[in-house]
Homo-oligomer: A and B are copies of this chain.
Amino acid sequence: MKQSKWIWKPGDFELYHSMLVHNRRTIQGVYYSPMWRIDPPSPNVLLYKRRDLEKPETLTVYANTDQASFLVNDKRYPVGTTVTLQPGRNFIKLAGYHPNAFPAFYCVGETFASDESWKFGSFGARDLHAGTNDMYTELSDRPEIFKFSYERISPVSSEQINGGILYDFGKETFGKLIFENLSEDVCVTAVCGESREEALSDEEAIVYVPVKSENGGFVSSAVAFRYVFVPALPCEYSFSADYEYLPFKQKGTFRSDDALINKIWDVAEYTLRLNAREGFFDGLKRDRWIWGGDAYQSYFVNYYLMNDQDIVRRTQRMLRGENPVTMHINTIADYTFYWIAAMWEYYFHTGDIGFIHTSYPHMLTTMNFVTSRLDEDGLYTKRRGDWVFVDWTEFFDPDSGPLCAEQMLLCRAYDCMAKCSALVEDGKNAEKFTALKEKLYEKINALYWDEEKNAFIDDYRTGNRNVTRHANIFALLYQLTTPDRLQKIIRHVIQNPEIPAITTPYFEFFELDAMCGIGEFSYMTDMLRSYWGGMLEQGATTFWEEYFPEKSRVENYAMYGKAYGRSLCHAWGASPIYLLGKYALGVRPTAPAYQTYEVRPNLMCFGTFEGTVPAGNGLIRVKMDKESVTVLSDIEGGTLILGTQKYSIEKNIPLTIAIEN
């Protein structure tokens, strides 16, 4: 028999798990509601497939709900039934209702094994190919249960304190707390902490776990913790946890003679891995939500680390929700622009044009929403309900007027939209968005460039001509002005210590990407050592949401007016993986899906390094020291670039070039 997959209405899997993800947040046990609309999957689904058979064959249909049946040429059968199909035209329909998840089907047969060849019947809209996911290929799978892996872990130490026990798992982790051998009267609240201080502060800690004996034990829902404080229990018990994770294959690697940077790479890897779940989360403890800006950076790290395509697709779909579009993604305008850009970048890194085709109607409706709310100059300006984020910073007043940084992200979104339109052969919209991009480019350069300051200012209407790094970094990254002005930006903003420094790993991602882009590699490696290394010095086992070098360890735990409000495991801290892969190993695609690519290794501050970058379906290995560089790739299309020299990289043949000193 052919391998079957569970099938459903396309998008339902992501909508359903997004609904669960965004409704799981609590603060001290109290439900914490998302700030945007959460769209449910469809309760009713019709899937169908028509084929001509030459000889009889059997078909058995299963569903994840009892309220389901299937029709063979209009004769209805209960699910669980095996029918012998006769030669000739066979029209099979699957119909089901799931009262609290989404209907899914599993068909065992030769021609009608369930897979993407089935169609979703849209009741008058566009019929689409059925949704599937490669995690769900067995009849015993349940697509309404996200398929995590589990590993039993135990505390590395414990201590009697405050009348209870404080357990330390040695590093930030995520999973279900497991209590065994409980007496029947156990009913307490355990307190989790990313720090020791948090776990010991039941007044200020974020994550509470109600522990109630059920048949002599208790298993919690999955939570983030390094420390767990358990109050005194009326019994002896044993305590452990089930680490919950997705078994991603780690494809990207980096090892150098710099132990600190190796450690940073490892902690970054662990930080991203913990946050790579139903989708790419912002952070592990508090929100565990999917935020467009956070996810956007995770994608880049992903392309240099595990290169998992499905988590990008899932995340993009979860961010988008369904029509109608009445708000920006996560309410944040910049995040809508990143969402559009991420589509093109996904295609560029993976070559998966199918996802662009599937998503394209949603991209268009998103852009319609965006363009329907611009001002008379075609600039994005904050409307009621919009959040203009850019960065956690007080450098600029988001309420002041149309911000330069936002226009630059919108320009980038137009550019990526135009490329996707061309990709799906929608020439009219490709033209339209190219024209919008060009017009906005002109506007940005006319309105925001300040000839005296040699920089883009934040807001041209206020007259205060404030300069921050943010817009100027975007100008560099996306080439949003003339080469001459870019040079001025480098000198008068980027290399100007009087322009306030970036304070979040989030915006460091953009800044360091831009700095490496102009060859300022030591700025990047210095920042890794001081900023990321600074977190390690303060005991980080995963990277943080925000970090102020001048603050003490415990002061750094506070945020949003809460003593332990800061997330200590935040995905946007993982960018060193991307930066080292792209600029030290020097690997980057020059055509979609690494059909062509270049390797421009740069030894930077290292004496030697060695690493791998996943590239499409292949893997590229780069080793470098002061004497030579060696590249080994299992795909075609590569060029090694050293200074002005170019060397063709043959598939599967190591290429070693001596370095002229």
Interface residues of A (CB under 8 A from B): 19, 22-23, 27, 29-34, 36-38, 40-44, 46, 66-69, 76-78, 95-97, 99-100, 122-125, 323-324, 326-327, 331, 385
Contacts and interface: CB of A to CB of B under 8 A. Distances in A.
Contacts of A34: 44
Contact of A122 (B19, B32, B326): B326
A23 B43 contact: yes
Contacts of A100: 99-100
A124 B33 contact: no
B46 A95 contact: no
Contacts of A66: 31
- Say whether chain A's binding surface is mostly helix, strand, loop, or mixed: loop
A23 B43 CA distance: 9
A97 B23 contact: yes
19 contacts: A23-B99, A30-B76, A30-B77, A30-B78, A32-B76, A33-B69, A33-B97, A34-B44, A37-B122, A38-B42, A40-B41, A99-B100, A100-B100, A122-B326, A123-B331, A124-B326, A124-B385, A125-B324, A125-B326
Contact of A123 (B40, B77, B327): B327
A125 B384 CA distance: 11
Contact of A76 (B27, B95, B99, B324): B27
Contacts of A323: 324
Contacts of A327: 123-124
Contacts of A22: 44
A214 to B, nearest CB: 17
Nearest to A327: B124
A657 to B, nearest CB: 56
A29 B29 CA distance: 42
Nearest to A323: B324
Contacts of A38: 42-44, 97
A123 B326 contact: yes
Given A40-B40, A123-B327, A326-B123, A33 B78 contact: no
A125 B385 CA distance: 10
Interface centre among A29, A32, A66 (most CB of B within 10 A): A32
Contacts of A23: 43-44, 67, 97, 99
Given A23-B99, A37-B124, 13 more contacts: A23-B97, A27-B76, A30-B69, A30-B77, A31-B67, A31-B68, A31-B69, A33-B46, A38-B44, A40-B43, A123-B331, A124-B326, A124-B327
Contacts of A27: 76
A616 B96 CA distance: 42
B78 A29 contact: yes
Contact of A31 (B29, B96, B324, B326): B96
Contacts of A19: 43-44, 97
Contacts of A78: 29-31
A33 B95 contact: yes
B97 A31 contact: yes
Contacts of A96: 31, 33
A527 to B, nearest CB: 36
A17 to B, nearest CB: 13
A66 B210 CA distance: 14
Nearest to A33: B95
Identify the 7 closest CB pairs spanning chains A and B, nearest first.
Answer: A124-B326, A33-B95, A100-B100, A124-B327, A37-B123, A23-B97, A38-B44
A291 to B, nearest CB: 16
A455 to B, nearest CB: 34
Nearest to A63: B31
Interface centre among A37, A78, A125, A327 (most CB of B within 10 A): A37
A125 B29 CA distance: 31
Nearest to A65: B31
Interface centre among A42, A96, A123 (most CB of B within 10 A): A123
Contacts of A99: 23, 100
Contacts of A97: 19, 23, 31, 33, 38
A31 B95 CA distance: 9
Nearest to A45: B33
Contacts of A32: 69, 76
Nearest to A77: B30
Contacts of A385: 123-124
A123 B37 CA distance: 6
Nearest to A99: B100
A76 to B, nearest CB: 6
Nearest to A97: B23
A77 B32 CA distance: 10
A28 to B, nearest CB: 9
Contacts of A122: 37, 326
Interface centre among A31, A34, A42, A78 (most CB of B within 10 A): A31
Contacts of A76: 27, 30, 32
Interface centre among A67, A68, A331 (most CB of B within 10 A): A67
Contacts of A331: 123
A171 to B, nearest CB: 30
A385 B30 CA distance: 47
A87 to B, nearest CB: 25
A30 B30 CA distance: 41
Contacts of A29: 78
Contacts of A44: 19, 22-23, 33-34, 37-38
